[in-house]
Amino acid sequence: MYAAIGRVNARALEHDIYGSLNLKAAALLHTLARLPCLEHSNAAFAWHSTEAYLLLHERRLDYPVKSAADLVRDAASGSKGVAVIARQLRDWTVN
């Protein structure tokens, strides 16, 4: 969990590593999916943590549940990186 928080808030030379909210949310999802921190239900935890992070920043998602599950699975396997995940989150953002 601390790794995910650290990654989202990472800075170098006084600049955020992940410059947009979608990139930060994608980095959160990517880290939580790749580094499971629970005994079970890590995919759900990764997704709902990401969704909550966006809601805290007044961004709501509208998405097909199967597509969200596929996105988390692809993040966990490493087949989709942060930039691709961020684009998908942006496409699902409704406000």
CATH number at residue 37: 1.20.120.1870
CB 6 within 8 Å of CB 36: no
pLDDT of 38 reads: 61
pLDDT of 12 reads: 87
Q: What percent of the chain has pLDDT over 70?
A: 92
| Bridge partners for 16 per DSSP | 11
**Measured between alpha carbons, how far is 90 from 26 in angstroms, rounded to an integer?**
10
pTM: predicted TM-score of the whole model, two decimal places: 0.87
Q: Which domain holds residue 44?
A: 2-92
Q: What is the mean pLDDT of residues 24-29?
A: 95
Our count of domains for the chain comes to: 1
DSSP type of residue 95: -
The more confident residue out of 39 and 73 is 73
